[in-house]
Amino acid sequence: MIKLPESTALIQRRCHVVKEVTVGSLSQENAAIRFPKLSSLELNAEFGEDFHIQFVMAHPTITRLVMNDYHCCQPPFWDALLGFHNLRTLSISSLEIFGKNINKVWQLFMRLERLDIQVQYNGFPEVTLPASELSNIKHLGVNGCHASNVPLFIEFLRRCPGITSIRWRSTKYHEQTFLSKLSTLLEAHELLYLEHLDIGARLIPADILAKVIRNMPQITTLSLMVSGYVHNMIDFATLEPYFTGLRVMELFPENSLKTHMAQDIMSSCPLLEKLVAPCVDAAVVTEGRPWVCLGLKVLELAFCFTSPNTASTLQPLVFDRLSKLTRLEEWHIVGSTRHGGEVDLRIQSGLDKLSTLRQLHTVIAYDVVEMMGDAEVDWILDHWKCLTVFSGKMNTCDAVGKALRRRMWDHGISVFGGWV
């Protein structure tokens, strides 16, 4: 991959082998260069000059085109883009695509497998969509949608019978409108192959969210931007039967939250491979049902200890549960200074219980007790032999921390000190 701008001479030497180009600002001189094998082009600046358009149009071999902050939507542009017969992924920002170019745009969309749209501030005009189906589209992403455009995108989804993934981002006051209409589609047994849902859910009543999940029999991935309102309303016990096939769960809170949802998920999702969740009370973990997600590979979870005293008692029990996740590859060790004590990565605090995590290759530490020493490094080198990345502060003493990092660097582990 090459990123522009670079020196023209350097680019010219590489152009015959380059397959991916990311463009920030583009000079007229660099825009004249051609990449005969280019398959991916990403434009990250506002374009408008003729030579910008010519640069895009000179590469009909691309399969992936990303246009961020791009405002040109003249008919000749779409005429030319229709000639990109290999294009399968299109991401467009601030384009009035559902306007005068609708028929040309629709012809292009019929070839796509992935489409991401950034809606303009004033939304889209009212239009009637063509009758044909978009049978190739597997992923639709919409960012910044207005409530007035929700019916348009619901109808758009009707035309995508093979869609497997939806990513929806709007203001939290418009999320309920979209999800309510999406649940109606699902209840009518449309979108039968939908398995990935990524949506803001900050002001959505739990019953609507539950209705969507219950009507997605193929669900494998669920990503939610959630608030305390949703956390307090959702009863995951009632949804447990629908999570048997769930492989990825990501819960991104708007603010600092403490909830038992992570414990509920880990004790009811046997196929789970990735979990990102808000803070969970360590007592809830140690007293709750055993975890069944023994195939988990990625875990990002904050543990709450109400005080340093409870941390010394409960952390070994939490680590004992973690030791059962023998397939774990990436672990974000997260303490919670907002809610109480910190995670302590020392042997005396239970680190030795984690010798079973032999597949770990990445460890990222937030809010941990920064008192690791030579004994902890010895232990890591002996037991986590797949480790290639350790990120976080190891010791509050700069001299000690530097020595510990050097030891791990010498064993091929990339160490990033300080806060991540």
In angstroms, the CA 367 to CA 302 distance is 9
Bridge partners of residue 299, in order along the sequence: 275, 331
pTM across the whole model: 0.84
- DSSP strand pairing (40-43 vs 64-67): parallel
- pLDDT value for 71: 56
Is residue 201 within 8 A of residue 173, CB to CB? The reply is no
Q: Mapped to the 3 state alphabet, what secondary structure does 87-146 carry? A: CCEEEEECCCCCCCCHHHHHHHHCCCCEEEEECCCCCCCCCCCCCCCCCCCCEEEEEEEC
Nearest to 23 by CA among 81, 79, 70, 60: 70
Chain centroid offset of residue 413 CA? 25
pLDDT tens digits in sequence order for the chain, 420 residues long: 555 555 677 777 778 888 998 887 777 777 788 889 999 998 876 655 677 778 888 888 999 998 876 555 667 778 888 889 999 999 987 566 666 778 888 899 999 999 998 876 665 667 778 889 999 999 999 987 777 788 888 999 999 999 999 999 887 777 888 889 999 999 999 999 999 999 876 667 777 888 888 899 889 999 987 765 544 456 666 777 778 889 999 988 765 667 788 898 899 899 999 999 888 888 999 999 999 999 999 999 888 887 667 778 888 999 999 999 999 999 998 765 555 557 888 999 899 999 999 999 999 987 787 889 999 999 999 999 999 999 988 888 989 999 999 999 999 999 987 543
- pLDDT value for 276: 92
Angle at 389 between CA 384 and CA 395, to 5 degrees: 85
Which H or E run includes 13? helix 8-14
Angle at 338 between CA 337 and CA 341, to 5 degrees: 35
Q: What are phi and psi of 204, to 5 degrees?
A: -90, 125
In angstroms, the CA 290 to CA 263 distance is 9
CATH code linked to domain 243-420: 3.80.10.10
- pLDDT value for 123: 59
CA separation (Å) from 395 to 213, 380, 399, 414, 420? 44, 15, 9, 16, 14
In angstroms, the CA 354 to CA 350 distance is 8
Beta strands in 208-329, from DSSP E residues, in sequence order: 221-226, 248-253, 274-281, 298-304
Q: Which residue type sits at 304?
A: C
- pLDDT value for 86: 93
- pLDDT value for 231: 47
